[in-house]
Structure 1
Amino acid sequence: MSFKTADLYDQFETRVRVCDPLFRDFGGHRAFCGAAVTVKCFEDNTQIKSALAEPGAARVLVADAGGSLRCAMLGDLIAASAVAQGWAGVILYGCVRDTDELAGMALGVKALAANPRKSQRRGEGQRDLPVTFAGVCFAPGDWVYADGDGILVAAARLHPAD
Structure 2
Amino acid sequence: MGAVQQILLGTGLLTFSALVHIGTIAFSIPCFPKLAGMFDATRWPRLQPVALLSFAVFVLVSAHTLQIWTWSVAFLWITDLPNLVTSFYFATVTYTTLGYGDIVLGPDARIVATFCAITGLLTFGISTAFLIGVLSRVLPDVFEGDE
Normalising by structure 2, report the TM-score. Answer: 0.23
Normalising by structure 1, report the TM-score. Answer: 0.21
Could you say which structure has the larger radius of gyration?
2
Which protein is richer in helix relative to its size?
2
